[in-house]
Amino acid sequence: MPEILYIKASPRGQRSYSVAVADAFVRAYKKKNADDQVVELDLFDTELPKFDGFALQAKYSIMGGQKHTPEEKSAWEAVEKTIENFKSFDKYILAVPMWNFSIPYQLKHYIDVIVQPTYAFNYSPDKGYTGLVTGKPVFIACARGGAYGPGTGAEAYDFQSKYLELILGFIGFTDISTLIIEPTLEQGPEIAEKKKSQAILKAEEMAARF
């Protein structure tokens, strides 16, 4: 039975636009796939492994082809557990706000923990970089206060959806569906609600093909 990891990167609960749209996606998905298990990972309610000191050295040891020292090994265990948990799922759903044109720090922390050589990607001089998380679809609901879509003139400021697509592509994802909810602030609450309702309808449609 497929298991889906639903990553929430907004701490705004019921007020969050990205979570409202991703929740609608999950509801629509569950309607069609009642037996599939959706597991929530609320990043603002989760203590992630610290990624400094010996854990960081452990990463460099892997990249340098060296064995872990006992200290690196024990620091690396928590990192390894987080990666293994991430990779154990069959499909992924992400709810992500734009913060300072990019993603919230908790999601960046999570990415810094899971994107590791030999676990999420490999490198060889002849082949270059190869992603290791393959054959799994991901749906991303991206909310932002302003508008950054084509024709807005602000496309270059989007380090949120573009970064997520890039880093997920880097570790092997090819089936990436992004749904943008914008603007959630810039044009007032009425427009924001309208955009949310439109995005929910679209999310329900996308869930049918997930």
Ligand X SMILES: Cc1cc2nc3c(=O)[nH]c(=O)nc-3n(C[C@H](O)[C@H](O)[C@H](O)COP(=O)(O)O)c2cc1C
Q: Which chain residues interact with ligand X by CB under 6 A?
A: 10, 12, 16-19, 97-101, 143-146, 184-185
Nearest to 22 by CA among 41, 43, 6, 37: 6
**Shortest Cβ 12–ligand X spacing (Å):** 4
Cis bond before residue 183 (omega within 30° of 0): yes
**Shortest Cβ 24–ligand X spacing (Å):** 13
**Shortest Cβ 180–ligand X spacing (Å):** 11
Indicate the residue among 16 and 116 with the shorter CB distance to ligand X.
Answer: 16
Tokens linked to 82 = 């987080």
Nearest to 205 by CA among 179, 171, 187: 179
Indicate the residue among 49 and 104 with the shorter CB distance to ligand X.
Answer: 104
**Shortest Cβ 94–ligand X spacing (Å):** 11
Strand partners, 138: 92, 176
**Shortest Cβ 201–ligand X spacing (Å):** 18
Indicate the residue among 68 and 109 with the shorter CB distance to ligand X.
Answer: 109
Indicate the residue among 16 and 106 with the shorter CB distance to ligand X.
Answer: 16
Indicate the residue among 82 and 184 with the shorter CB distance to ligand X.
Answer: 184
Helices (H), 33-171: 53-63, 70-87, 105-114, 161-170
Q: From residue 167, give the alpha-carbon distance in Å to each of 44, 112, 116, 172, 174.
A: 21, 10, 12, 9, 11
Across the beta sheet with 3-8, what order do the strands follow? 37-42, 3-8, 91-97, 138-143, 176-181
**Shortest Cβ 100–ligand X spacing (Å):** 5
Evaluate whether 102 touches 160 at the Cβ level (below 8 Å).
Answer: yes
Indicate the residue among 58 and 206 with the shorter CB distance to ligand X.
Answer: 206
